[in-house]
Amino acid sequence: MEITKGSKVFITGAGSGIGRSTALVMADLGCRLFLTDLNGKGLEETAAMVRKSGGEVCLTRVLDVADYAAIKSFADEIHKSYGPLEILMNIAGIALFALVEDMTHEHWKKVINIDLWGPIHAIECFLPEMIRAKKGHLVNVASLAGLIGLPWHSAYSASKAGLVRLSEVLRVDLKQHHIGVTVVCPGAVETPLKNTVEILGLDMSREDVQEIKKRFSRHAISPEKVAGQIIRAIQKNKFLVITPRDVHFLYICKHHFRPIFNYVINYLSNLMNSGRYPERPKT
């Protein structure tokens, strides 16, 4: 869809990383922003950055996307004063890397509540009004882990794969209402997430674990680049965005060059497992 001046855009996770970068680009395009995050300080910083650059922030709200009532109340307030959104962006998320034997029930619930239920809550609260208006675009930021079963990503992959499938269904179901859908599946993006990711069962001071973090940063792209890709995907009504290029290669290997894919996944698995069970032989 064409992103016109004055378009109303709702963004979760706007206080940091990809959400903040996307808010800044949307503001540059003349959009009116409705920004949320659990982190009030980050949210206010983003709003200040947008306003300083001449952009328009209509409302901000500190809320937890896992809390349906909080999203519903903010959605009602937006609809009452401003009408339906043009663009709905589910960007907020958390990451947890762990083996199942190290996870409690609370770990599972936390990841799935934020990474899968969070987007569902926003979809429930905002899409009916967009459908009535018969226009708009939905962006869901999932992950490469939603396309590929990455080692140590069980709860995260389950949530993000659910979000990818949900996006596929909505892509078809919303077409009749002239609403486009984009699902974004990044590999590594250089954002504060790399510091907030919860990693269970690994001694973070170990050299090989630090090496994994360094490799992540070497492959990572900037959140500004991802924001640009999101904007182009909306404008071209492109469904799937996989970024950066090397993770796209892995996705292609999964479907067409299975031995290469298996080799990479096994390599990653051994790398992580050796930090958790150093005494065990590689598989």
Ligand X SMILES: NC(=O)c1ccc[n+]([C@@H]2O[C@H](COP(=O)([O-])OP(=O)(O)OC[C@H]3O[C@@H](n4cnc5c(N)ncnc54)[C@H](O)[C@@H]3O)[C@@H](O)[C@H]2O)c1
Q: Which of 156, 263, 267, 277 is catalytic?
A: 156
Does 166 sit near ligand X (CB under 6 A)?
no
Does 111 sit near ligand X (CB under 6 A)?
no
Residue 101 is which amino acid? E
Does 141 sit near ligand X (CB under 6 A)?
yes
Which is it for the CA torsion 118, 229, 186, 19, positive or negative? negative
Does 191 sit near ligand X (CB under 6 A)?
yes
Complex with ligand X: residue 14 or 174, whichever CB lies closer: 14
* Interface pick for ligand X out of 10, 19, 98, 164 (rule CB under 6 A): 19
Residues 22-81 that bind ligand X (CB under 6 A): 37-39, 42, 64-66
CB within 8 A of 174, min separation 6: which ones? 127, 131, 138, 180, 181
Stretch that binds ligand X, among 74-82, 98-106, 165-173, 183-191 (CB under 6 A): 183-191
Which residue, among 261, 259, 283, 260, has the nearest Cα to 271 in the 3D structure?
Answer: 283
* Interface pick for ligand X out of 26, 33, 35, 93 (rule CB under 6 A): 93
Does 196 sit near ligand X (CB under 6 A)?
yes
Does 13 sit near ligand X (CB under 6 A)?
yes
Which residue, among 157, 21, 149, 188, has the nearest Cα to 89 in the 3D structure?
Answer: 21
Instruction: Enter the tokens of residue 78.
Output: 């937006």
Query: What does residue 272 show for φ and ψ, rounded to 5 degrees?
Result: -70, -45
For ligand X (CB under 6 A), the number of binding residues is 30
- Distance, in Å, from the CA atom of 95 to the CA atom of 110, rounded to the nearest integer, reads 10
Whether the link from the prior residue into 244 is cis, omega within 30° of 0, is: yes
- 156: annotated active-site residue: yes
The helix or strand, by DSSP H or E, that contains position 171, with its residue range, turns out to be helix 154-173
3-class secondary-structure state, position 147: coil
Give min distance, CB of 240 to ligand X, in A.
14
- Distance, in Å, from the CA atom of 136 to the CA atom of 210, rounded to the nearest integer, reads 43
Query: What does residue 150 show for φ and ψ, rounded to 5 degrees?
Result: -85, 140
Query: What does residue 87 show for φ and ψ, rounded to 5 degrees?
Result: -135, 130
Stretch that binds ligand X, among 88-96, 234-242, 244-252, 266-274 (CB under 6 A): 88-96
Residue 194 DSSP class: H
**Per-residue contact flags (x/-) with ligand X for residues 199 to 228, judged by CB under 6 A:** ------------------------x-----
Give min distance, CB of 102 to ligand X, in A.
20
Complex with ligand X: residue 143 or 182, whichever CB lies closer: 143
Does 244 sit near ligand X (CB under 6 A)?
no
* Interface pick for ligand X out of 186, 199, 240, 253 (rule CB under 6 A): 186
Does 114 sit near ligand X (CB under 6 A)?
yes
Complex with ligand X: residue 4 or 162, whichever CB lies closer: 162
- Distance, in Å, from the CA atom of 194 to the CA atom of 171, rounded to the nearest integer, reads 30
Interface ranges with ligand X (CB under 6 A):
12-13, 15-19, 37-39, 42, 64-66, 91-95, 114, 141, 143, 186, 188-189, 191-193, 196, 223
List, by residue number, the catalytic residues: 156
